[in-house]
Amino acid sequence: MNFTIRPFEKTDAESFSKYADNEKVASFMTNGFPNPYTLADAVDFIEMAMEGEPTHIFCIEINGEACGGIGLHHQQDIHAKNMELGYWLAEPFWGNGVITSAIKQMVDYAFKTFAITRVYARPFGTNKGSQRALEKAGFTLEARLEKTLYKNSEFIDELIYSIRKQNH
């Protein structure tokens, strides 16, 4: 499936909010990802994503619409050589290899752009699709933290996947 990773634009808010307003998407995100997801939520997120140089939070565009997001998040202090990767994709596009390919592109970008040695992601233990995408993109499972997350009145495992610059 064809897609583009590009910086966000203010005009993305309508399609972004349309696709983000999905209970299944929200079920795999932190509570900072609102459900329902409103147009105002999208405007706020896009404004934040457009800040900072170099760009580190990008839009996933499919068929001319903002259908997801993918970003690298700087870490501080003794974790400064690491970046956390976060992403989501609209449900109609799941299972088409978009996220796996987007992850690979972001890892390339991360190691070329930032002075880091490791990119990691923390999918929920219940998010099998995300786990498969990370594995296909060359990430390895570093840890399973049992029942550490509390989402929708349920304790779930948190997984930590990573890829290191020397293994990339």
Q: Which residues contact 27 (CB under 8 A, 6 or more apart)?
A: 126, 151, 152
Enter the pTM of the model. Answer: 0.95
**β-sheet bridge partners, residue 118:** 82, 164
Total domain count for the chain?
Answer: 1
Residues 40-62, mean pLDDT to the nearest whole number: 96
**What is the bridge-based pairing of β-strands 82-89 and 57-62?**
unpaired
Residues 133, 95: contact at Cβ < 8 Å? no
Between CA 14 and CA 19 the distance in angstroms is 9
Q: What is the pLDDT of residue 113?
A: 97
What pLDDT score was predicted for residue 104? 98
- What per-residue confidence (pLDDT) applies to 150? 97
What is the residue range of 67's domain? 4-167
For residue 168, what pLDDT band results from cuts at 50, 70 and 90?
Answer: confident
- Which residues partner with 61 through β-bridges? 4, 66
Residue 52 has pLDDT above 90, yes or no: no
Q: Which of 32, 47, 98, 97 is nearest to 70 (CA)?
A: 98
Q: Give the CATH number for residue 126.
A: 3.40.630.30
- Partners of 5 in beta bridges: 60
| Integer Cα distance of 34 and 129 in angstroms | 21
